[in-house]
Amino acid sequence: MAYADFYRRSIEDRDAFWADQAKLIAWHVAPQQICDASRPPFYRWFAGGRTNLCHNAVDRHLSARGDQAALIYVSTETGKERVYSFRELHAEVQRMAAVLQALGTRQGDRVLIYMPMIPEAVFAMLACARIGAIHAVVFGGFASHSLASRIEDATPRVVVSADAGSRGGKVMPYKPLLDEGLRLSSHKPDAVLLVDRGLAPMETVAGRDHDWATLSALHRDTQVPCAWLDATDISYTLYTSGTTGKPKGVQRDVGGYAVALAASMKHIFLGEPGETYFSTSDIGWVVGHSYIVYGPLIAGMATILYEGLPIRPDAGIWWSLVEKYKVASMFSAPTAVRVLKKQDPAFLKKYDLSSLKALFLAGEPLDEPTARWINDGLGVPVIDNYWQTESGWPILTIANGVERQHSKFGSPGVPVYGYDVRIVHESTGEELTGPDQKGVVVIEGPTPPGFMQTVWKDDERFVKTYWSSIPGRQVYSTFDWGIRDEDGYFYILGRTDDVINVAGHRLGTREIEESISSHPNIAEVAVVGVADALKGQVAMAFAVVKDASALGDAKAALKLEGEVMKLVDDTLGAVARPARVRFVTVLPKTRSGKLLRRAIQAVCEGRDAGDLTTIEDPTALQQIKDLVQA
Ligand code: ATP
Ligand code: MG
């Protein structure tokens, strides 16, 4: 079926469309209703149905592919590599489920998972799903304050953690951060379950802390059946990346999520049972939830869990895994591609990538030069997809393999089936239907299966934050700014609070960044709007160069700055020209690789940079501070 018809049916004949997709998963009791839209914006999917995410990810595959690979663990940090078949994964998950139950975990309880990228983290997520406990995974790179606020919000019965993670060969102890997080939090879990990797010494608290190896040995052969949950029960909570402020606790259901993922594996990610999927994300992010753990396993695929950097031992490591495990689909982020772009492109050609059908990228705008670089280098289609923690799966992309040749670089594509995506004027609420009209990207309800149910414990915040920002309409705001071209392709221009207003012209930071990054010597750039007495705002650019020798002295830097400005003049017009283009060695980003424009902007305007708990490298912001204050 042509994609346009497929899409139309998903919107115009919603229930029939999703009833079909619901057949992709196994139900213990079939749903009685497809979409309950009686209380917007609290849409309920597949009410009356009973199912289980772990059953769909693991048990369901035992008969057809019990001995095939399910979880492929590769750590270039510790040199460990191990393949778990579906049968082995089934046994491990039951052990973990039995231990969680022995520690008092019951259906509906929260289990906070604060772990490095090790198999036990996946066992813990699936074990929670199995017994109907709600997991709250907290990215392992977060320190005690971020952790404490999430412990307080999730009020877990049990916390699962480990002695340490490892990054670039350096041991990062987790346990002291966890202890501090638990001390700072007013909520205290009943038990802490610890995986001892032997990387760092651990102090344990008697009565509270338990050793995974000891307890799992007691439950080696314990069988724990899947709890049949209501489709609308809660599967997990997960916090947004915190790029724009205080992270929001996204709450997701069971049945809708399972169906959405199963459908996306088929229609978007080209996943076939028995094939291998490789997502380079972290289980602490939504991509890790949907496309390291649940999506590939639900589809009967093997999934690679990779602990390590993209460039260690060298920049060929990912491609060597593609060759070794015959990866069919791969999912990564533009930020990772930009890291590779600074390395020798020969690594892209060194391995046999013939198994690879496509590389999917999401998380940040994929600028055209980066897309082209990786596309040419690998010789496989590169497919951008736009979504959010809130949605759980793609909102915009090019779905259905056959039409992939129509993908346009710089655009994540067209609305995904199930999503009624519109562009509206942010202050009048008027719908903008013409080509190239800029506005806020919004979603008209009902939101599709898999979409967030609410903000954890805060229905009011859900309605107020997401569904009340556009005057006169109850629509979901993505808080992203975009346009649609005459062919219906969307372009994301930046976040709504990143829009720059220069002398009355509204410009997306993304447009300027895209223009600058087309300069052959620019590896990466961040553009922010800075208050200006004359023009209201001016654009400021901070760029990382590919070849630092071009910055030899102050004169050379000025020359490059001039070139970049001219490039913006030529592509977007003088109005978009940054007031300054400054060169830094690294840009401030969140742990998930997103540019922290709000922090850069604050520093440029001499304000406090605000909540920086999610920043990856604080020295990056210091470089900018030094430049603007000099
Ligand atoms: P917070 O909501 O806490 O500020 P965040 O928005 O960065 O953090 P995520 O849910 O991880 O948290 O990121 C979703 C956002 O990432 C989108 O709203 C969009 O701004 C950006 N994004 C994701 N994919 C793409 C893409 N393919 N192209 C452009 N932007 C993207
Ligand atoms: Mg967001």
Whose Cα sits closest to atom 2 in ligand 1? Answer: 240
Residue whose token pair is 């031992």: 313
Work out which ligand 1 atom sits closest to the CA atom of 366: 28
Q: What is the pLDDT of residue 347?
A: 96
Ligand 1, closest atom to CA 245?
4
Residue 589: CB within 6 Å of ligand 1? no
CB 332 less than 6 A from any atom of ligand 1: no
Rounded Cα gap, residues 328 and 126, in angstroms: 23
Q: Is 385 in the pocket of ligand 1 (CB under 6 A)?
A: yes
Is pLDDT larger for residue 388 or for residue 514?
Answer: 388
Backbone angles phi, psi at 325, to 5 degrees: -105, 10
Contact 361, 380 (CB under 8 A): no
Average pLDDT score over residue span 566-589: 92
In angstroms, the CA 265 to CA 299 distance is 7
Banded model confidence at residue 404, pLDDT cuts 50, 70, 90:
low
Nearest residue (by CA) to ligand 1, atom 3, is 242
Please classify residue 283 by burial: count the beta carbons closer than 10 Å to its beta carbon, then call 0-12 exposed, 13-18 middle and 19+ buried: buried
247 lines ligand 1 (CB under 6 A): yes
pLDDT tens readout for residues 320-354 = 999 999 999 999 999 899 889 889 999 999 999 99
pLDDT value, residue 405:
60
Q: How far is the CA of 387 from the centre of ligand 2 (A)?
A: 9
Ligand 1 pocket test target in 138, 237, 243 with most atoms within 8 Å of CB: 243
ipTM of the complex: 0.99
Across-strand partners of 502? 505, 536
Task: Give the model's confidence band at 402: pLDDT under 50 very low, under 70 low, under 90 confident, else very high.
Answer: very low
What are residue 329's DSSP bridge partners? 277, 358
Q: 305 C-alpha vs ligand 1 centroid, how far in Å?
A: 23
Is the CB–ligand 1 distance for residue 364 below 6 Å?
yes
Tokens describing residue 11: 């919107």
Give residue for tokens 């019990």. Answer: 66
Residue 253 scores a pLDDT above 80: yes
- Cβ 389 under 6 angstroms from ligand 1: yes
Weakest-pLDDT range from 67-81, 353-367, 397-411: 397-411
Q: ∠ CA(551), CA(553), CA(556), 5° rounding?
A: 55
Place 146 in a pLDDT band, splitting at 50, 70 and 90: confident
pLDDT digits (tens, 9 = 90+) for 471-511: 999 999 999 999 999 999 999 998 887 888 887 788 888 88
Q: How close is the Cα of 576 to the center of ligand 2, in Å?
A: 25
Q: What whole-number distance in Å separates Cα of residue 332 and Cα of residue 317?
A: 14
Give the Cα separation of 127 and 53 in Å (integer): 10
For 15-37, what is the mean pLDDT? 98
Cβ of residue 594 lying under 6 Å from some atom of ligand 1: yes
Which residue among 142, 150, 239, 240 has the greatest number of ligand 1 atoms within 8 angstroms of its CB, and so is best to mutate? 240
* DSSP state, residue 615: B
Query: Looking at ligand 1, which atom is closest to the CA of residue 494?
Result: 20
Least-confidence region, from 262-271, 303-312, 588-597: 588-597
Domains of the chain from N-terminus onward:
3-308+385-479 (3.40.50.12780), 499-629 (3.30.300.30)
Q: How confident is the model at residue 548 (pLDDT cuts 50, 70, 90)?
A: confident
What are the distances in angstroms from CA 206 to CA 104, 113, 192, 203, 209? 17, 20, 10, 10, 6
Q: Where are the alpha helices (DSSP H) in 484-596?
A: 509-517, 554-571
Find out whether the beta carbon of 388 lies less than 6 Å from any atom of ligand 1.
yes
Question: Do 242 and 250 form a contact (C-beta atoms < 8 A)?
Answer: no
For the chain, what percent of residues have pLDDT higher than 90? 82
Q: Whose CA is nearest to atom 28 of ligand 1?
A: 365
> SS3 of 347, please?
helix
Q: Can you give the pTM of this predicted structure?
A: 0.93
Which ligand has the nearest atom to the CA of 243? Answer: 1
pLDDT score of 28 more than 50: yes
Q: Is 329 touching ligand 1 by the criterion CB < 6 Å?
A: no
CA of 58 to the centre of ligand 1 (A): 30
Distance CA 627, CA 624 (A): 5
